[in-house]
Amino acid sequence: MWAGFFNFLGVLLSSGLVAFAIISLLPVELILQVGSQAGFAMVFALLVAAILIAVSQQAASALDKYVSPNAVIADAREDLTTYVRTREFTPNTMLALRQLVNDIGSETALFGELAKIPNDRVRNFRNDMYLVSEALRLMQKSHKPEISAGDTAILTNYKKHIDNATKFIPGWVKVAVAMALGLSTMVGWKRIVVTVGEKIGKDHLTYGQGATAEITAMFTIGLADWYGLPVSTTHVLSSGIAGTMAANHTGLQWGTVRNLCMAWC
């Protein structure tokens, strides 16, 4: 019971990474077209459309300075996707980025709110925002191309706005996910306890080993949540327990380890 309660509390008070990962598994149209107000909130994250239009125009103007006159693109989305996948910057990359930034601003101005965007364009609109954000992150990290401090500030501000728009999580989503995980832990606690305490190592888990694994998992999950890293609490805790067993030279039950790995894959 307490495990389920603290599972619920952990998800509820976290940055929302777990809830966001779970809700991202649903079809975009199902999440976004749940009504004009709810859909608008999910994508624009309570942003006024005029703000997004303004920052899009500023970002496009800043990117214009770094577009090569020899750059030619056939499909901006495809070129930028290739850059994100390969991390290889070419003159066409900046032109593709500027084109998508222009498209985001234009569609925002054209439709004004998500409820008015046709169903067949909702997915591309949101994906374009993710793609632009990731491309800007990679460019800032690699410093290719070299961008002035003033233009970097403009692009950082633009990235912040589109991240807030796409990564917003309504409060009811966090509560629903926390309740689902908490209740499932209350119902299935026995299997979890038996597996973790008796079937990972060849000896039963001691209090000291359990405390060590829990403390390690707490700091690891806390850092992952802070930096937005995609980790699983189950993976971290199970690995911590396996580490205590290995450090204590009690040995591991490789059948259980194999089954865990197969389940995770």
pLDDT of residue 3: 57
106-115, 140-149, 247-256: least confidently modelled range = 106-115
32-41, 49-58, 95-104, 197-206: least confidently modelled range = 32-41
The predicted model scores a pTM of 0.53
pLDDT of residue 95: 92
Query: pLDDT of 202-239, one tens digit each?
Result: 888 888 888 888 888 888 888 887 776 777 777 888 88
Handedness of CA 11, 264, 168, 43 (dihedral sign): negative
- The answer to whether residue 68 scores a pLDDT higher than 80 is yes
Residue 230 to residues 16, 51, 58, 143, 236, Cα–Cα distance (Å): 12, 30, 32, 25, 11
Q: What is the mean pLDDT of the chain?
A: 76
pLDDT of residue 109: 74
Q: How is the chain split into domains, by residue range? A: 2-17+171-264, 26-166
Determine the distance from the C-alpha atom of residue 113 to the mean position of all C-alpha atoms in its chain, rounded to a whole number: 24
Handedness of CA 73, 78, 84, 86 (dihedral sign): negative
DSSP one-letter string for 219-243: HHHHHHHHHT----HHHHHHHHHHH
Confidence of residue 47 (pLDDT cuts 50, 70, 90): very low
Contact 168, 19 (CB under 8 A): no
The residue that leads in pLDDT, 43 or 134, is 134
Handedness of CA 210, 214, 216, 220 (dihedral sign): positive
pLDDT of residue 114: 54
